[in-house]
Structures are given as C-alpha cells and as structure tokens.
Amino acid sequence: MSDGGSGTPAPMAMVPAATGRALAGEASSTDVHACSVPIRVRFDEAGPDGRLRTSTLLRYAQDLAWHHSAERGFTRAWYAERGLVWLARAAEVAVLAPILVGDELVGTTRVVGWRRVWARRRTDFLDADGVLVGWTHVDWVLIDGRGVPTRIPSEFDGAFGSPAATFPLGRVDIGQAPPDAGIASFAVRPQELDPMDHANNAVYADWLEESVIMSGRDDGIAMTRVLPRLVRLEYARAAERGATIVVQSWPDDDGWTCRITDAAGEDLLRARLGPIRDALEG
C-alpha cells in the first residue's frame, strides 16, 4: 500500500517508550510481508541541533510505503489506471533517541491491519546497532476517482499478508483552545505542496512544531527536541494550494496541543506533541 497526501482524519497501538523495544506486531526485517530499505540522514533533513526533524520520519515512511507497494506490483501506474489514491487519515510519530546527520538507518514497513476502506502501516527505524530509534503509524484511507472512500482490492491481502484491524481509526481529542492560546496565520507555501497539489501530510508535523516554537519560545524549542517524544496527528481535511491556514497552540499537561483550521474555521488538523512518560504510551 502506498502513500498519498493528507486527507480526512488517529490513539493508536500501545508502544514502548525509552527502552527502544518495539511492541508485538512491529515491522521486522525477517517478516516476509515487510519491506526494509537503508536510509542515510541528509544534512537538509536535520534542524539547528543536528538532529533529524520529526516530520522527516513521516517522509521516510511515505517513501518506504511506495517502495513496498511497487515491490509487490502495485505501482503508481497501477493506481493511476484505476483512479485510486491513499489519503492519510491519522499518524503517530515516535522519536526514541537522537538521530543525527549522517546516521545510517534501516527502515522497515509493513501493513499491520486493515478494514473495508482503510489500512494502518507500521514503520520502524533502526540505527546501525539495530536499536529502535523511531517508529511511525499511519492510517490510510483508499479513495476512488470520485473522491470517496472505496473498498480495498482483495488482491492486497495476499500481497501484504496483514490481518483484519483489531483497532479503530486513530483520533486526537483536543477540546477547545483556551483564550490565551498562541495563534498564527499564513498561506500554504508552494514548497509544501506534493504531487496531489495539496500540503503533504508530513508538512503538518512541521506546522505543529513551528507553532509550538512560536508560542512557547525557549520552552517550545525544548519540547520539540525532548526525548523520547510522541507526535499524534489527526487529519480532518486537506490544505490546498495557497489556502490561508490558522494555527492555534497551547500547553496542555506536560505537552502541547495544536489545532489548525482554514480561514472559515473548519478543522484541518488536530494534534498533540509531548514526551513519552511511561513504559507504554498509546
């Protein structure tokens, strides 16, 4: 199954925290239904602290999804001929340890479950010593040429070998923004558009961290770099070319919460960023 862009709406499976152990059912290089690819962290993929940006793990996960899909015969041409596309409904990104410029990683992806019109991918990132340093979950909804969800083709079952999902689509419940929430507004930038001509789903993670830094200043910077950390993203609608977006962010418990809307106040994203505190975080 391949990646698309951000579409409509993710808690997801329970995940171990600072130990670096992956949970049962994770993607594995020994799994015949998984796909593993080596990755080298580029200079432009890291921030001023020399560490990989959170959004880059989502970009790696998208690329691995396409690689896996094409490897099983479901190429971009296959999807185009059938008028099908995957849109991201929700995502989780966990950064468990520092990932630095020049680090050599292995990314392993697999489909861990699906239902009628949607599927979840798990992608694990291991360092050169085989230690789990990050992972993503992404819930994808299959969309047809009319722009509505459609049933996943039956041939995918044999190709990807995933079971029926025992978990629901992810959600991020954030409530109402407090009166003193930080607020910013800007237009979707040309470099943030993907081949579907809307903001790529990984861009929303950049917007989240940008808003936390703007609102929290030094505390916000610290939160975007805390380890281990977890970002949860629920995509409500796509942000189109040139659209004006409004970003609200505020501290909540020991993390930060963010709501992104269009100019009319309709939700585009609900998200949360915070440290992974316990042995299990879901």
Model's pTM, two decimal places? 0.87
| 227-231, 258-262, 269-273, 275-279, range with the lowest pLDDT | 275-279
Question: Residue 203, exposed/middle/buried by CB under 10 A (0-12, 13-18, 19+)?
Answer: buried
pLDDT-derived band of residue 31, with 50, 70 and 90 as boundaries? confident
Tell me what pLDDT residue 30 has: 59
pLDDT for res 151: 95
End-to-end CA distance of the chain: 24
Q: At 121, which CATH number?
A: 3.10.129.10
Cβ within 8 Å of residue 81, ≥6 positions away: none
pLDDT of residue 158: 85
Residue 160 corresponds to which tokens in the numbers above? 């990807």
pLDDT in tens, 110-147: 999 999 999 999 999 999 999 999 999 999 999 999 99
d(CA 41, CA 59): 12
**Distance (Å, whole) CA 158 – CA 160:** 6
Q: Give the pLDDT confidence of 138-159 residue by residue, as tens digits.
A: 999 999 999 999 999 988 888 9
Task: Decide which of 31 and 169 is more confident.
Answer: 169
3-state secondary structure (DSSP) of residue 12: coil
Question: Which of the four pLDDT bands, split at 50, 70 and 90, describes residue 277?
Answer: confident
Domain assignment of residue 270, given as a range: 5-281
pLDDT at 19: 30
pLDDT, position 245: 95
In tens, the pLDDT along 167-224 reads: 999 999 999 999 999 999 999 999 999 998 999 999 999 999 999 999 999 999 999 9
Per-residue model confidence as pLDDT tens digits over 83-110: 999 999 999 999 999 999 999 999 999 9
Give the pLDDT confidence of 226-262 residue by residue, as tens digits: 999 999 999 999 999 999 999 999 999 889 999 999 9
Q: Label residue 281 by pLDDT band (50, 70, 90).
A: very low
Q: How much is the pLDDT for 204?
A: 97
CB atoms within 10 A of CB 71: 12
**CB-based contact 243:197 (threshold 8 Å):** no
pLDDT tens per residue, range 42-93: 999 999 999 999 999 999 999 999 999 999 999 999 999 999 999 999 999 9
Could you tell me which residue, 281 or 180, shows the higher pLDDT? 180
The number of domains in the chain is 1
**Do residues 110 and 33 lie in contact, with contact meaning Cβ atoms separated by under 8 Å?**
yes
User: Per-residue pLDDT for 279 more than 80?
Assistant: no
